[in-house]
Chain A
């Protein structure tokens, strides 16, 4: 490596270094030679290494450019003269306590600026001179105990013990965060910037030892500095925050904590910090030069200079949210069924992106090395998913649960285990940031489509072995429980992928017709799939109810006793599960109704605008290098290899749009009828939404026809469905607004030159259903509206 060799060489360079590179090598000046060689090049020529992509060159830092060269950072006299081993402040006036408190307070705030406000470490925590100094000492001598570490040496215990230990505590927390980041689930740069500038953040020191050191600081403060309440609170806060590694499965495995008490205690401390009016960051002053950009100039650095991020004053409120998100994430431990866990993970990161630590901890806490929550093996977890949806009461389940039928049992179990990987990938995808989450579906859909095709074959084969369940009222069609579950999951993902595009503002208004029409189409397929399952569940429940009559007809004896025992099993075990599954299917039916109705309302509104030539489901940006079809196919590329359901073609989408249009004559008089259709759909959505909301609010009472599985993620789920309800109302109002605006130009049938269309998010509405909004032509608002 050039670097290692060069470091040695550079250290030995003399100032004029004319001839010697420092390791005995003779150096030859080639400045003029280089100038001559390059002057002979054609102006557009760049001589470069074959493997080097010039795009990578855009990341290069240009030396001698003040905006890019950290060596040009200018430091003031206080920064240059700052001495970490000098006890700043007048000891007689309490200024030293004020200084130490100020530094610790800012370090806590800086942690939040880094973790919650997505700032970098060099502009927040590492800008503190004490952090840089102590970590440089540790990096130079990475020992395994704090006892062996060199600390501050001011001869004032406030600095040497309290501040020194506090810095150690903060750095230990950074080490933990860095570990969480490395263990996956969140991404460097896009989720969190963990650039520690090649400093060793106490790699050999245990968190327990750091906590002990902080506890000794706290004792010192209580005993010797009675007026240090704020500093005591900050130290106690840090001690509590350092309990977080105990909830990180990869960090502690067998000893991972499930008791959330220390986290609730942290919340109490944070609350007291907020309440005690410490939001004012200007309350304390720091030793001059204590926070500096100097580290960017001194340490290994391949980033341009950045100003220090000054705390804004709301850091403890952010910390409150940070801790609440973590507590919410770890509440996943309360879930007992696969449906509850599925719903928890689906809703947890839904309405707003949770803090990065909470998302990472959820993933590591839920998906452990060989189990889910330490309770269920991966295969058992997958079986639970199947059982709680479509497998209960089936012949296939009887075979799987009957260990005697070894041959068929083993081959089926082996086949089913292939599903575990797909299921885990789904779970890993859910807590990701919104962009990664949608991107993850590209791969997931391929996987799930592939296993669907595979299992349709398996299940056909199993049918030939007599392992089958048929739905009598639907022409005796086979149920195929595993494929039914896979198909349901896949369709839900396809709908989510399409609607997430609105959330992330991926689509232009002209694309909204195809996307919403596609969602309607997918929901219809989902509904048909659910109807099959629902019919089977009803059939099976009816069979169990009537089984008793069969027993009565039997003569007393062994056969009758066997039938009675079987009946008991059916009523005690199978029937309750079938009832739960029916409620779950009812929930998905409602999801279908909601997505179908809201999507159709959007389709109606698009068609209305298209009828007046304000918008079209194709782009005017098509050139001779592309075409409407190419652009459409590119947008639907994710679904290009999906076998079932068949994805409509570009032409089919265009034809569907035509079917919704209203035309002259009397075009204006046809608007109310179109809106009436739309409002009927919206009413259906509202009924379904109110039903789901009521079920969640009443805690899923036993007589509820729906099971939402949201008991442990109640608030998020309620907010989500209420946002959908708000969107249903907003869409209805928007229909009237569009009608009014179109009626302003009664004589015109072509309003292409009058209006532009934008997709606007409604306050408190669902980000899946932004409104098609008319704006006067050429007077578009320049700012995009942020999602609610």
Chain B
């Protein structure tokens, strides 16, 4: 299991979220906003629907419609490293 404890909501802003809506349909977009129900607002969204790929612009995704949300492992590692560097400066 990947340790996600370093990843906070603010770390995800502006980053790409990979969202599965169902078996055929998924979205990738830049996270713009998220609320307390995990409903997200993504910009520059690219949709893949049964192999067909297209751009959709600014999209809101209700969390109830989401099957899974993923981010790249690189982003997690980068976030961890950045936070470690910052904290080490203050210790």
Specify the main secondary structure of chain B where it touches its partner.
Answer: strand
Which residues of A line the B interface, CB within 8 A? 1-3, 5-7, 9-11, 13, 15, 17, 21, 25-31, 33-35, 37-39, 41-43, 45-49, 52, 54, 56-57, 59-65, 71, 198, 298-302
- By a CB distance below 8 angstroms, the chain A residues around B57 are 61, 302
Q: Which of B25, B36, B62, B71 contacts A43 (CB 8 A)?
A: B36
Report how far A56 CA is from B32 CA in the complex, Å: 11
Complex contact A63–B30 (CB within 8 A): no
In the complex formed, the residue of A with least CB distance to B77 is: A26
Report how far A17 CA is from B51 CA in the complex, Å: 13
In the complex formed, the residue of A with least CB distance to B68 is: A31
Q: Which of A3, A25, A33, A49 contacts B46 (CB 8 A)?
A: A3
Specify the main secondary structure of chain A where it touches its partner.
Answer: mixed
Q: Which of B31, B53, B56, B60 contacts A301 (CB 8 A)?
A: B56
B22-61: CB near A (< 8 Å → 1, else 0) gives 0111111111111111100101101111001111111111
- By a CB distance below 8 angstroms, the chain A residues around B28 are 2, 6, 9-10
Enumerate 28 A-B pairs (CB-CB under 8 Å) in ascending A order.
A2-B29, A3-B44, A6-B44, A9-B28, A10-B26, A15-B23, A25-B74, A27-B70, A29-B68, A31-B70, A35-B38, A37-B9, A38-B38, A41-B9, A47-B33, A48-B13, A49-B14, A54-B33, A57-B60, A60-B41, A61-B59, A63-B59, A63-B62, A63-B65, A65-B62, A198-B55, A301-B54, A301-B56
Complex contact A59–B58 (CB within 8 A): yes
Complex contact B33–A46 (CB within 8 A): yes
Complex contact A63–B61 (CB within 8 A): yes
Complex contact A27–B18 (CB within 8 A): yes
Q: Which of B4, B31, B54, B72 has the most CB of A within 10 A?
A: B54
Q: Which of A30, A49, A65 contacts B32 (CB 8 A)?
A: A49
Complex contact A45–B53 (CB within 8 A): no
Report how far A61 CA is from B29 CA in the complex, Å: 13
- By a CB distance below 8 angstroms, the chain B residues around A34 are 34, 38, 69
Complex contact B16–A2 (CB within 8 A): yes
- By a CB distance below 8 angstroms, the chain B residues around A56 are 58
Q: A28-B4, A49-B32, A63-B65 are in contact. Are A21 and B18 (CB under 8 A)?
A: yes
Q: A17-B20, A31-B66, A46-B35 are in contact. Are A6 and B46 (CB under 8 A)?
A: yes
- By a CB distance below 8 angstroms, the chain B residues around A33 are 4, 7
Check: B73 CB closer than 8 A to any chain A CB.
Answer: yes
In the complex formed, the residue of A with least CB distance to B27 is: A63
The 5 closest A-B pairs by CB, nearest first: A302-B57, A48-B33, A26-B73, A6-B28, A41-B36
Q: Which of B31, B32, B35, B53 contacts A41 (CB 8 A)?
A: B35
Q: A37-B9, A57-B41 are in contact. Are A64 and B21 (CB under 8 A)?
A: yes
